[in-house]
Amino acid sequence: MPLTPGEKLGPYEILAPIGAGGMGAVYRARDSRLNRNVAIKVSTAQFSERFEREAKSIAALNHPNICQIYDIGPNYIVMECIDGSPIVTHDAFEQPLPPAEALRLAIQMASALEAAHAKGIIHRDLKPANILATKNGTVKLLDFGLAKQSIAGTSAEETQSLGTTQPGTIMGTPAYMSPEQAEGRPADARSDIFSFGAVLYEMLAGRRAFPGNSAAAVIGAIVHVNPEPLKSPPAIAAIVNKCLAKSPDQRFQSATDLRIALEAASTRASSKISKRAIGIALAAAALVAVAIAAASFYLKSRKSAQIDSIVVLPLENRTNDPAADYISDGIMESVNNSLARLPGLRVVPHSVAFHYKGKPIDVQKIGEDLGVRSVLAGQVAHQGDNVTIDVELDDVRDGKQLWGEQYNRKSTDLLSVQNEIAREVSQRLRSQLSTEDQQKLTKGSTNNPEAYSLYLKGKHYTNEFTKEGFAKGLDYFNQAIALDPNYGLAYNGLAYNYINQDGWFLPAREAGPKAKAAAEKALAIDDADADAHLSLAIELQWYEWDWAASEKEFKRAIELNPKSSEAYAYYSWFLAPMGRNDEAVAAAKRSLDADPLSPLANFIVGSVSVFTRQWDLAIKQLQSAKELDNSYWFNSCYLGRAYEQKGRLPEAIAEFQHALTLEKENTEIWSGLGHAYALSGKKAEAQKVLDHLKEWSATNYVSPYAIAVIYAGLGDKDKAFAYLDTAYTDRSYFVANYLTTDARLDVLRVDPRFDALRRKVGLP
């Protein structure tokens, strides 16, 4: 029977009903002993055991975003009375939340799940009605009636339900349950992450992710249909899509990873991908100082509104001279890299900010899209030797300018701008930045203004990722080092440049030693330089084939920068040739978890799937990577390899041909195309590719491995081994990475010559 106002349950007086469900009713009540309002959930008799277990599960949790339990009676639970409403209601349909607000609430939701999962408690009924938002914007997760708990020290089979569920029973609310729940299969923490994605989708879209006129229709959509694309910022949409992956293995693997991704809310949209990213710490100190000095000023004038997040936009080039881009792009990238080192400040990655280059700046919209409190933007004008830089920091909330400055200098005097702003930082932030933090901003930099300008040019041209761009980049880096032999960042730039050219435009015997020398110079200047350790690790693997030393450097790079997506990415490429497939897959996932929207990380997961021969997974992942960035030829190259192994040869050929439209001078793409032609029976076309590569080798570097792959496809084992032997002599990077991972060489593996080659290289 329903309770009426005035009735009592022990010391609790019923005030009013709040709601009812299949397992009982909830009432607002008054605790006469402590003089406070509470919520009482009263069970029906058949659910008393479930209620007792729910009480125990909630009692195990102590988190600001989880409803607290106060007491338990024979058939009721006494809980915190929350003055709030469901995070999404039917009244809110077609009225989606602003992305910034949805993101703020979602982070709290994820934090609550993280706490529950840490106790082994899986909610299993995450839905808007069980997530309340208070008037002050605090999220409260409640209703653990269907929760499941993994008991410490027990096996997976001993995981117990906190309810009375039987195996094969469908538990949860249809619109928000995971595919595994819908099919009656066991659900783990990743099931909650799917439900989380369905809720966040609804918050952002104003409609359910999986609509339907019946429970059966909804369940069918959950299992077989992807929701309509969100019109939200790419950073948030990609996180939702990852949560809603049909396979648990494709979702975030923990609520912690989900929370980190939400907090980053990052996307990467630059048209080119570097194999690694090396910071420009000197320039960083300049505009980092702008941002921090301005933020400090803001703190003094508005103490109640501390700036804890920022996006640094590319400087608008106000002249028609593309050469000025080296100032805009180089400085602003370094600002992001350096600001990210400072405690308590969330910085949107440079490649996210790069998405706004050349577009009108709407400070409030950008802040809303990216979930930041402040925006640093500006302009650069470059005429002859004169440079004018205007910068300002704006408040996202009201669009007001918080700080601004104009600098008129010679192009070789950019360093003086940095020094002036650094003095401002010293005056304003002396109480906030430790000596160690201040040193981080300039470690490995230079005091020579001309060297600084040359370094920015070297970085700019290297990032063009063309043969000509690499050559110009090397020239500028070397000029910078000639002016300042202790310029650590310039040595980092050299190592980065040579590693990118290895096997593509330069033979390994030229690129490898030069990359190593540059990385060691950078480390001699700053042994805590994570990027230099990563460069050295790659060189030790790709060229020297010193596997133990290489892994040591990879681990050191990760130790110094445990959030580095790139360090995990390249470590996965080390682990796969070692035959440590599970570790390689895990490292690739760590790379993606560290930066879920990184085109490089998305490619790495696909490439490791190719290495480990998970062809369907590789195809799905690389198709997704192409959607994220269709300008990166590596995605199409590896997708072609996956299609080839699935026997989808026309699609494979099409992918290689597409890759050639993006990069015509890369022999790896030509090699893939030639091999696909050979398997398709188009031997004449395959021979034309061979002839092209051999002719090209007269004036350009062509890796012998590329030719060996085509001969393997044609079934000419003797010539394939001849070119593999040459690749071994050349110490080709392809031998280090591909010899034990490339399925195209399977036709050669039964030949004793292959095993002899593998042993000489030292691969397992």
Q: Of the ranges 46-55, 232-241, 295-304, 413-422, which one carries the lowest mean pLDDT score?
A: 295-304
- Domain of residue 342, residue span: 281-443
Give the burial string for 488-501 (b: 16+ CB within 10 Å, else e): bbbbbbbbbbbbbb
What is the reported pLDDT for 54? Answer: 58
pLDDT > 70: percent of the chain: 74
Residues 145 and 22 sit within 8 Å (Cβ to Cβ): no
Same domain, 65 and 98: no
Same domain, 93 and 193: yes
Q: Which residues contact 231 (CB under 8 A, 6 or more apart)?
A: 205
**Separation of alpha carbons 562 and 48, rounded Å:** 47
Torsion of CA 279, 481, 387, 329, to 10 degrees: -20
- Could you count the other beta carbons within 10 Å of the beta carbon of residue 680? 16
Instruction: Give the pLDDT band of residue 381 (cuts 50, 70, 90).
Output: confident
Domain end position, chosen among 508, 534, 562 = 562
Residue 10, domain CATH? 3.30.200.20
> What mean pLDDT comes out for the span 242-270?
76
Instruction: Give the pLDDT band of residue 116 (cuts 50, 70, 90).
Output: confident
**Tens digit of pLDDT for each residue in 281-316?**
333 334 444 444 444 443 344 333 455 677 788 777
What is the reported pLDDT for 270? Answer: 30
Q: Which residue did the predictor score with more confidence, 111 or 725?
A: 725
What is the reported pLDDT for 58? Answer: 63
**Separation of alpha carbons 649 and 686, rounded Å:** 13
Residues 267 and 233 sit within 8 Å (Cβ to Cβ): yes
* Selection from 417, 186, 192 nearest residue 290 by Cα: 417
Q: Which residue did the predictor score with more confidence, 183 or 742?
A: 742
Same domain, 414 and 509: no
> What mean pLDDT comes out for the span 320-345?
63
Assess whether pLDDT exceeds 90 at residue 151: no
Beta strand segments in 115-215, E: 121-122, 131-134, 139-141, 148-149, 160-161
Task: State the Cα angle at 620 between 617 and 622, rounded to 5°.
Answer: 105
Same domain, 154 and 303: no
**Tens digit of pLDDT for each residue in 689-728?**
999 999 999 888 899 999 999 999 999 999 999 999 999 9
What is the reported pLDDT for 403? Answer: 60
Instruction: Give the pLDDT band of residue 423 (cuts 50, 70, 90).
Output: very low
CA 146 to chain centre: 32
Across 97-111, 353-367, 568-582, the highest mean pLDDT is recorded for: 568-582
Same domain, 431 and 464: no
**Separation of alpha carbons 492 and 530, rounded Å:** 10
Assess whether pLDDT exceeds 90 at residue 72: no
Domain presence at residue 635 = no
pLDDT > 90: percent of the chain: 34
What is the reported pLDDT for 555? Answer: 96
Domain presence at residue 478 = yes
Give the burial string for 748-757 (b: 16+ CB within 10 Å, else e): beeeeebeeb
Tokens at 412, concatenated: 């070789």
Residue 296, domain CATH? 3.40.50.10610
Tokens at 382, concatenated: 């470059």
Same domain, 506 and 484: yes
**Separation of alpha carbons 509 and 703, rounded Å:** 12
Residue 533, domain CATH? 1.25.40.10
Torsion of CA 723, 741, 558, 351, to 10 degrees: 80
Domain presence at residue 735 = no
DSSP one-letter string for 215-273: HHHHHHHHHH-PPPPP-S-HHHHHHHHHHT-SSGGGS-SSHHHHHHHHHH------SS-
What is the reported pLDDT for 95? Answer: 60
How many independent structural domains does the chain possess?
Answer: 4
Residues 478 and 513 sit within 8 Å (Cβ to Cβ): no
Same domain, 368 and 489: no
Domain presence at residue 135 = yes
Same domain, 306 and 434: yes
What is the reported pLDDT for 92? Answer: 39
**Tens digit of pLDDT for each residue in 496-532?**
899 888 878 888 889 999 999 999 999 999 898 888 9
Chain mean pLDDT for the chain:
79
Same domain, 360 and 479: no
Residues 571 and 558 sit within 8 Å (Cβ to Cβ): yes
Assess whether pLDDT exceeds 80 at residue 275: no
Same domain, 95 and 138: yes
Q: Of the ranges 261-265, 348-352, 403-407, 412-416, which one carries the lowest mean pLDDT score?
A: 412-416
